[in-house]
Amino acid sequence: MSLLTSLARLRALDEGIAQPVATVRHCHLSARPMVFVPLKLSGEAAAPLAAMLGADRDRPHLLVVAQPRNRDLRFAWAAELAGVLLPYVEGFLSGTETVERRNADPYERALDAPQLVVPNTAGVAFTRLLGRSTRFRRSDGPYPVPETVPLLGRWLTYFGERAAFPGSSLMLAATEELGRHWASGQSGLEDANLAALLGWITEGPRADAEDPLVWPPAGPATDPGFDAEVLAPAIDSGSAERITEALRTQLEPTWRLMWQAIDLLAGLPEGASVAQRWEQDRGSFSGMAAQLAEGGPPQARRDGAVAAASRLARMERAQAAYDVQRAYDDPLVMAEYRLTGEAFAGEVVETDPEHAEGEGRSRKLRPLVVVKTDDPVRLAPGTALGTPQRRGQGAQLVSAGDGLVTIKITKGMGRGRTPTPGSVPEVGERVCYSSLTDDFQGSAALPEAEATPWTHGGPPHAYVPTDEDAEEEWS
């Protein structure tokens, strides 16, 4: 936890209401998100109990497994889930655009992409388990399942894996995104309770936020008291109507909270880099759809060594890019780096726009700028710098001391003998520079592997399922 976040939590505790730790929204919000609230049977890793989902807040779909230990009923439930989710996902494949790439063939990218929103990170993990439990099933042979079930499993696996990709918005956990934009006066563990976290943000701590009778858990686990006193007798009675109504009482409060969370996030202005990351998500989604259309196999249960290393490298690049983009988009995030000495802000007190280095043909324009700052600067001379005010411009630290920092602009001032007007800060201008450079901005931010992302780390036919995979039971 950073120093500013810790201070915001202390202030929230003192004032009784959550404090903002972001000035803009750092995730994309779809105009038509698919809210997915799953419940699982206690004591089982991935046995579904019920789900409430839909893209219309006024018309949710309630899917219930009347006898959760019945294997056939579980797969019938999965087929029902596929009947709601797959048309939503496939509906985004109708419109595409051609994207040109350097040193590679162009590809078709969807104009928009689906977005799943679950209550918490446990919901993301359960989605991945559902995917693993269904993507290897067969529609023929012993124990056949409906044809849509394996396809559902592959999409659920894809969304679950994409949720772990830094900066991706294809699958969001409501508590995680809310916690990224507001700091409550409770612990991080307590922030996993959606009702409690929303209470801090909207009106202050709710006394009844952790009362399961008022606000049931947001899933996928249910309250033990509900399991013993309501669910178990309903299942023993064999009444599907009784079971459905009991589970409806557990899901409807969370359904309302989910849309409240979406409205809160939608009320924040979108960060400047969000659209670029959503383009990458659309490219990833299009690549997954292309893999399915080409008849590629299911995602592997585990990556091989090469695929795992490739995935790790992509995620590290994405995390570095995400950190830079958030800081450049949001002064509150950049303030964290100013506290650590990795960034500084101040007023320009002197400039030399026509300063150059070298002679003759080797002469290079290198304007100098002197900034007066009160921030601690813990950067060595020669450190590469970037600035949110002029994205794409490069600079270098020349010296720092006595509250004055001298920087040298190295790129982004034009190709002429004099700088392009506006490319060099003027005296009196307020500027911010950071060792977080924006090399990840623009088209270079999209690695070729992410443009057509085979989610198991290789090309469509890099993995062949084993008999063990195909026969895996739904635990």
pLDDT at 456: 37
CA distance 389 to 407: 15
Residues of the chain where predicted confidence (pLDDT) is lower than 50: 441-475
> What 3-state class would DSSP assign to 195?
helix
pLDDT of residue 438: 67
Taking CA atoms, 236 is separated from 66, 67, 229, 240, in Å, by 10, 9, 12, 10
Residue with tokens 């958030």: 326
- Give all strands (DSSP E) within 133-220, no chain letters: 171-173, 182-183
**Residues 394-443 pLDDT 10s:** 999 999 999 999 999 999 888 878 898 999 999 999 999 999 986 654 43
What pLDDT score was predicted for residue 208?
Answer: 83
Cα-based distances in Å from 60 to 19, 82, 241, 264: 32, 15, 17, 20
